[in-house]
Amino acid sequence: MKFKTGDIYDGRWQDGLMHGQGSLIYATLFEDDSEDSEEEQKEKEAKVTSMFTGEFAEGRRISGTLTYENGDVYTGTFDEAGLRESGSIQFRNQDEFAGLFEEGAMKCGIMTFKSGDVYSGEFKDSMFHGSGKMIYANGDEYSGEFDSGAKQGSGQ
């Protein structure tokens, strides 16, 4: 089914709502602004912004895989507002996060970097914040407090 917003859903329905297994392509509509288009004949083009495949309940995402336009891929569960809740993100740069989210932002978990560095601990606004431990690829370690992504104090 194609929605007025440009989104396209393919899957199961229950009581007029997306429910069960399905796929939803999210799109943004743009009008053709070329000078030779008459006002009544302007066509709208859809640009895909993300794609979700997984489980729906009562019209909202419950769990599955969400692929973003930039290439990042989230697999996990979603809260009542449809935001990331618990799962993992494979970033297009090959970094990966697995853990919990709050209002869609990373809250606590393990961030593994392509470089081999590994951070485990708390996050705020998706940045290292609070108690955490960084193990660097060269074997060095820092365990202590972080503030807005930066180490605080000497740690252990």
Q: Which domains does the chain show, CATH number per domain?
A: 1-30+44-69 (no CATH), 70-156 (2.20.110.10)
pLDDT in tens, the chain (156 residues): 988 888 999 999 999 999 999 999 999 877 665 555 555 555 667 788 999 999 999 999 999 999 999 999 999 999 999 999 999 999 999 999 999 999 999 999 999 999 999 999 999 988 999 999 999 999 999 999 999 999 987 777
Beta strands in 3-148 (DSSP E): 8-14, 17-31, 44-57, 60-68, 73-78, 84-90, 96-102, 105-112, 118-124, 127-135, 141-147
pTM: 0.84
| Burial state string for 43-77 with b = 16 or more CB within 10 A and e = fewer than 16 | eeebeeebbbbbbbeeeebbebebbeeeebebbbe
Res 154: pLDDT: 78
- Helices (H), ranges, 7-106: none
Res 78: pLDDT: 96
User: Is the distance from CB of 61 to CB of 80 less than 8 angstroms?
Assistant: no
Res 103: pLDDT: 92
